[in-house]
Structure 1
Amino acid sequence: MPTRRAVTGRSREPRARFAEELRSLRTRRGESLRQLGERLGWDWSLFGKMENGETLGGPEVVEALDQYYGTPGLLLALWELAINDQTQFRERYRRYMALEATATSLWHFAVSVLPGLLQTPAYAREVLAAGGLKGPELEQQVQARMGRRTLLDGDDAPPFRTILSEAVLRTPLRDAAAWREQLEYLGERVERSGVILHVLPFCAGPYGLDSTDVWFLRVPGGRTVAYTENAYRGELIEEDGPVERMQRAYDAVRDLAWSPAESRKFVLRMLEEVSCDPTT
């Protein structure tokens, strides 16, 4: 079983960093570009251009490389950083992406939007479009987000726990069929081992994480880091004191939330409501 590996390399420029990782992975296998192309079914010259920094390729080829090299999510995370370096990704988010790719477990809390790891393409597209993305850039982001879902696949996937405010599941997509598909996908994912869902009901009242989404990543070595985000910015928190305080707040919210079994039943109830909507 391939092991989760740390991001290595010298370059701090995302495009160069991505190219370096591609070259390093291939040369460690002792393969030529032609051999790589034959084994994956792409023109070998594409891989040469990617390793030289002439092109980044598309999410499909990057996903195939992640699967081939046994680096689930790592190359796609680096690819996403490279294509967004001049827009929404700042240094702390770039570091977060690298940490996510190697995390040994993840905990999450959402105020209003499902985490990307549990989104369908239609959900991701509507959320990203609401944030101002459009055209080819929007589609690239949707594909990248879908590729990152593979982080939760396979026997070596990190355990993932998410607490969703009830508001997340009370905020449907405009397209009822797409919303039903999203709820069905969510229900399927939480039935699998390694994914745990809690719903925080409105009746829980005020709570300590009521203004922001937060991620906790346990990284190799046992250290935990946190990443908070809202609609306008994100912040990576690595100092032990602040992370521990946020973890205590997270634990308090989990105590207020429904159990995984109750939460699954709530998702099914929401799905039944959508299915019975006469306008769908």
Structure 2
Amino acid sequence: MPPRRAVTGRSQEPRQRYVEELRLLRAEKGDSLRQLGDALGWDWSLFGKMEKGQTLGSPEVVEALDQHYGTPGLLLTLWELAAGDPTQFKERYRRFMALEANAAGIQQYSPAVVPGLLQTETYAYRLLTRGGLVPGADLEQQVEARILRRKVLSGPGAPECRAILDEAVLRRGLLDCAEWQEQLKHLTDVAKQPNVTLQVLPFAAGLCELPNTDTALLRKPEGSTVAWVETGDDGQLIQENVRVERLQFGYDRLRDHALSPRESAEFLLRVLEEVPCPSATPS
């Protein structure tokens, strides 16, 4: 096994440390990218992208590299550390959005906040600032990207979408009454679309499945389903059948506990009526 390199200041970053090791091990082996591709049976361009940090590669590829270089477990461990790097959240989220844009069906459960596909621009702005973004170009770009996602639900070929919102989503609104009314009215409008079903999971249902995990189940055009789960500061794309089926079971149980679409529409209107009217500006 090659001797271990000292951890430099630069390579303390998990992703960069992983990339460095890929490059160094191939240099020590004396392989070109094409030779590496031929030896392992993957397109050589994949290894080039991995060594540039453009992708981490799959666990199967990394395990094959460990075997090829005689470093059992080393690269896979570095891969796991790199996958936990915050920069990977953005990469995983981009993959999720690409799948969402082409989904034949979307099932969403939100325990605490209005899901991205149903947010108004103002709600998205307030939520992202609460998440730590400061006003500026990056915040504006993220708000714009989130609003553009709403187009998924309209137009030709729009997917069937079912969104289950915990009652907490509707009870913890924006402090500005006008902004909150705008968001609630948007929910009532979206729920009228023929391809969208909105349901409310009331407090009266008690403790239910998926209690603190924002979950989206995406049915791909060919029929298989993938899932996206998100907590406060991280998200994960899940494709393993067993884990997806477990989430699907939990979602189906939530739907059983939720109010019917008609009852949910009436509930939403009652919440909207309870919001105080914005104070009139004195003439």
Which TM bucket (shorter chain)? 0.5 to 0.7
Q: How do residues 209-228 of structure 1 correspond to structure 2 at under 5 angstroms?
A: 209-228=210-229
Q: How do residues 99-118 of structure 1 correspond to structure 2 at under 5 angstroms?
A: 99-118=99-118
In structure 2, distance between residues paired with 1:94 and 1:152: 18
| 2:261 aligned partner | 260
> CA 1:244 to 1:279, structure 2 compared with 1: closer, same or farther past 3 Å?
farther
Deviation digits for residues 198-235 of structure 1 (CA, Å, limit 9, x no counterpart): 10000101111101100000012100001100111111
| 1:270 aligned partner | 271
Q: How do residues 103-182 of structure 1 correspond to structure 2 at under 5 angstroms?
A: 103-134=103-134, 135-182=136-183
Any stretches of 5+ residues in structure 2 without a counterpart?
A: 1-44, 55-85
Residue 202 (structure 1) aligned with residue 203 (structure 2): yes
In structure 1, distance between residues paired with 2:270 and 2:180: 14
Deviation digits for residues 221-266 of structure 1 (CA, Å, limit 9, x no counterpart): 1000011001111111101111111111110110000000000111
TM-score (norm 2): 0.66
Any stretches of 5+ residues in structure 1 without a counterpart?
A: 1-9, 18-85
Counterpart secondary structure, 1:181: helix
Counterpart secondary structure, 2:249: helix
Q: Which has the larger radius of gyration?
A: 2
Residue 239 (structure 1) aligned with residue 240 (structure 2): yes
| 1:93 aligned partner | 93
**Cα distance, 1:95 vs structure 2:** 2.0
In structure 2, distance between residues paired with 1:236 and 1:261: 32
> CA 1:279 to 1:228, structure 2 compared with 1: closer, same or farther past 3 Å?
farther
TM-score (norm 1): 0.67
In structure 2, distance between residues paired with 1:253 and 1:89: 27
Q: How do residues 34-49 of structure 1 correspond to structure 2 at under 5 angstroms?
A: none
> Identity percentage over the alignment?
51
What count of residue pairs does the alignment treat as equivalent?
201
Name the Cα RMSD after superposition: 2.3
**Cα distance, 1:98 vs structure 2:** 1.7
> CA 1:172 to 1:107, structure 2 compared with 1: closer, same or farther past 3 Å?
same
**Cα distance, 1:278 vs structure 2:** 6.8
Counterpart secondary structure, 1:164: strand
In structure 2, distance between residues paired with 1:188 and 1:119: 12
Residue 193 (structure 1) aligned with residue 194 (structure 2): yes
| 2:231 aligned partner | 230
